[in-house]
Amino acid sequence: MSSQKEKMLNGQLYIGNDPELKNLSRRGRQLVDQYNSSLHFKEKETLLLLPKIFKSIGRASYIEKDLYVDYGSNTSIGDNFYANTRLVLLDVAEINIANNVLFGPNVSLLTAGHPIDMEIRNEGLEYGLPITIQDNVWLGGNVVVNPGVTIGTNSVVGSGAVVTKSIPSNSIAVGNPAKVLRKIDEHDRVLWREKREAYYSDMRAEKNG
């Protein structure tokens, strides 16, 4: 017979009020409380809490204060991740964030779901579906990602979008519900490389005086 934790992580209905789950959630939230309260006072020491909060977290990753998790232990984060303030991770199912991912403020990744049937919902049964954020993704401020969604490599999701379905790689998606506005193409690459070259040209000119 599967435990409530096993059911939860397998995407089955489970009871969220289960004692084992409550203890696991409490541990994660207590660590996050420590992180939020001390980050601006003892940054170096406080960042050492991140590997204790999450299942894994890569090098050069940083999360601003006012982080919130359901568990933390069901979330894996890659290298060079940055999240602005008030990141919400409802990780009753696994959240997998790859490398070089950037989040604006108030981003919410919500793996948790509740039955549409009110009778079953009122019995306290719930479920979760995993969320995957692939390499080089940028989520703008106030983006909400719903259960079961994958956001593909290199994609950008505009501020305020509510992502209810997976977004393919190399896409710009906006709106509620989020829809692909267009693909990221060679024009974008040329434009931003020109801007980068102009920046470094200015820096070289300033250096050479």
Which amino acids are annotated catalytic?
114
Neighbours of 61 (CB within 10 A): 20
DSSP category for residue 54: S
Cβ–Cβ contacts within 10 Å for residue 175, how many? 14
Give Cβ neighbours of residue 91 (< 8 Å, ≥ 6 apart).
69, 70, 71, 72, 73, 74, 75, 109, 111
Residue type at position 167 = I
* Residue given tokens 């894994």 in the structure block: 56
CA pair distance 6, 67, nearest whole angstrom: 25
- Sheet with 179-183, side-by-side order of all strands: 62-63, 82-83, 102-103, 138-139, 156-157, 171-174, 179-183
Round to whole Å and give the CA distance between 197 and 66: 36
